[in-house]
Amino acid sequence: MKKAYWVGVVNVKNYDEYKKYADIAGPALLAAGAKILSRGGRIKNLEGEEMNRVVVIEFPSMQQAESFYHSDEYRKGLKYLNSEVADRFLNIAEAVD
């Protein structure tokens, strides 16, 4: 089974509200067996619109990555996000091997 990665680019507009989401999502991801590889550290924009946060999270499979997105645990954090808090692009990418 190939691993899969959440790859997100985010422009956080309201850090206080975004933290409410992150404080729920982080522990829920770890409890679900995901591995956080990058989450808000230093980034360098090379092309396209500059965003201020990049997130890369490893899951054991595509199915698990997608299932977690739809889980009740993750939805508890998502309720804090809207267009006033952050612009987000989130995709699931399957590993090459």
Q: What's the rounded mean pLDDT across residues 12-30?
A: 97
Domains of the chain: 4-94 (3.30.70.100)
Q: How far apart are CA 44 and CA 28, in angstroms?
A: 28
For the chain, give the percent of residues with pLDDT over 90: 94
pLDDT on residue 41: 87
pLDDT classification of 20: cutoffs 50, 70, 90: very high
Q: What's the rounded mean pLDDT across residues 68-90?
A: 97
Beta bridge partners of 10: 53, 88
Burial (CB count within 10 angstroms: exposed 0-12, middle 13-18, buried 19+), residue 33: exposed
pLDDT on residue 40: 82
Answer whether residue 63 shows pLDDT above 90.
yes
Global pTM value = 0.90
Q: How far apart are CA 75 and CA 30, in angstroms?
A: 15
Answer whether residue 96 shows pLDDT above 90.
yes
CA angle 52/26/23 to nearest 5° reads 80
Q: How far apart are CA 77 and CA 79, in angstroms?
A: 5
Give me the chain's average pLDDT, please.
96
